[in-house]
């Protein structure tokens, strides 16, 4: 008897299709199961309203509805798009190895952030990035933008370019094969990433035990632990929180760290950095904590409590 292909739900953007195709190929290589992509249109794909106004989960709700309706078997999300709350009847079966989570600059004439002249117009879609750019005091004009990776880069390098630079997630640019156009990968000391940036979440129905087990072959334990710590911090801060929140967890061993790319053995520790920045960039609270991968969620909760104790709640109510 022939086993039917698994139906993988995906948004229709170039990046979503690339990410989903990558996961499909990895699953087929690991298990032998064929996978077909099913495109799902989400409200976030049809609106030009800034993401911050659309709300958390705008890119994933339609995929989750299709999962629960049995129209698809599993879905691939950019993990940072997922709301932090538990979702009934669905399960994150795998968190594959993470791409570089840092932010990247694409600028005219190969410039770095420090090379941009005062008054340069720099575009980005995230309030978190806007706040941190303002905090640098570089006299840049920062403007919010929407659009996919190709659209954003075209506003700097295209024939009708109207920006001097954009800041976008390095992971998406790399996955689309355009890393050569990045003029600077931004040090997290300057630009702390969003929680779960660069990571993917592979989700299916929780009652599909066979598929849960099958998809688990794609899970990368160090990435899952790092993302768990970052999202736990976000979840703890999220009640009433509209301020920019950043978090970046790395696995540390023997004084060296990487971006959750080790094998998860030995005496590794998680080093988590978190920040809450006022939207105008004037005030910021940046703290860190270290703990074991097994306690990833607790590290995130504890660091969030530290941030709140340091006054992060006063930044959460800041307005421009």
Query: Which domains are assigned to the chain?
Result: 6-96+199-219 (3.40.190.10), 103-185 (3.40.190.10), 224-316 (3.30.160.40)
pLDDT score recorded for residue 315: 83
Tokens coding 272: 């988590």
Buried b (16+ CB within 10 A) or exposed e, 189-208: eebbbbbbbbbbbbbbbeeb
Q: Which residues are catalytic?
A: 81
pLDDT band at 254 (very low <50, low <70, confident <90, very high): low
With both helix axes pointing from N to C terminus, report the angle between 14-31 and 149-157 in degrees, rounded to the nearest 10.
Answer: 130
- Identify the pLDDT of residue 42: 65
CA 170 to the chain's CA centroid: 10
In this predicted structure, the answer to whether residue 274 has a pLDDT above a threshold of 90 is: yes
Residue 267: what pLDDT?
80
Cβ(270)–Cβ(228) under 8 Å? no
DSSP three-state, residue 93: strand
- Do residues 79 and 99 make contact, with C-beta atoms less than 8 angstroms apart? no
Instruction: At 100, list the tokens.
Output: 């570089």
Per-residue pLDDT, averaged over 268-293, amounts to 94
The answer to which of 57-71, 131-145, 168-182 has the lowest mean pLDDT is: 57-71
- Higher pLDDT, residue 253 or 97: 97
Residues 276 and 280: their CA atoms lie apart, in Å, by: 12
| Chain segment 72-119, per-residue pLDDT in tens | 999 999 999 898 888 899 999 999 999 999 999 999 999 999 999 999
pLDDT on residue 57: 61
pLDDT tens for 158-167 read: 899 999 999 9
CB contact at 8 A, 296 and 289: no
> Taking Cα atoms as reference points, which of 128, 100, 120 lies closest to residue 166?
120
Q: What is the mean pLDDT of residues 203-212?
A: 97
pLDDT tens-digit readout, 112-156: 999 999 999 999 988 899 999 999 999 999 999 988 999 999 999
Percent over 90 (pLDDT), the chain: 77
Whether 269 has a pLDDT exceeding 70, the answer reads: yes
- The neighbour count for residue 49, using CB atoms within 10 Å, is 12
CA nearest neighbour of 114 among 138, 130, 90: 138
Which band of pLDDT confidence, cut at 50, 70 and 90, is reported for residue 47? very low
Do the beta carbons of residue 181 and residue 166 sit within 8 Å?
no
- The pLDDT score that the predictor gives to residue 241 is 42
The pLDDT of residue 226 = 97
């Amino acid at each position: 008897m022939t086993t039917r292909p698994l139906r993988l739900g995906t948004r229709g953007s170039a990046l979503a299709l690339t990410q989903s195709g990558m996961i499909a190929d990895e699953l087929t290589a690991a298990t032998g199961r064929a996978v077909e992509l099913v495109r799902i249109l989400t409200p976030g794909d049809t609106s030009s309203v800034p993401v911050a106004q659309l709300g958390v989960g705008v890119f994933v709700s339609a995929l989750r509805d299709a999962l629960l309706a049995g129209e698809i078997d599993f879905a691939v999300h950019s993990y940072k798009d997922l709301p932090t709350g538990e979702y009934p009847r669905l399960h994150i079966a795998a968190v594959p190895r993470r791409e570089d989570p840092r932010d990247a600059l694409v600028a005219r004439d190969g410039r770095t952030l420090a090379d941009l002249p005062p008054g340069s117009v720099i575009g980005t879609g995230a309030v978190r990035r806007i706040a941190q750019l303002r905090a640098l005091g570089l006299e840049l004009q920062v403007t919010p933008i929407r659009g996919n990776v190709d659209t954003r880069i075209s506003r700097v390098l295209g024939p009708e370019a109207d920006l001097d630079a954009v800041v976008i997630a390095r992971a998406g640019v790399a996955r689309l094969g355009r890393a050569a156009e990045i003029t600077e990968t931004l040090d997290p000391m300057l630009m702390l990433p969003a929680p779960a940036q660069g990571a993917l979440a592979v989700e299916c129905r929780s009652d599909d035990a066979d598929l849960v087990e099958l998809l688990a072959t794609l899970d990368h334990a160090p990435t899952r632990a790092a993302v768990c710590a970052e999202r736990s911090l976000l979840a703890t801060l999220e009640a009433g929180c509209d301020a920019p929140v950043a978090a970046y967890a790395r696995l540390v061993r023997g004084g060296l760290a990487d971006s959750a790319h080790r094998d998860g053995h030995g005496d590794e520790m998680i080093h988590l950095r978190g920040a809450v920045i006022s939207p105008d960039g004037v005030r910021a609270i940046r703290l860190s904590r270290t703990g074991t991968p097994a306690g990833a969620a607790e590290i995130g909760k504890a660091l969030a409590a530290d941030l709140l104790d340091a006054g992060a709640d006063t930044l959460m109510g800041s307005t421009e």
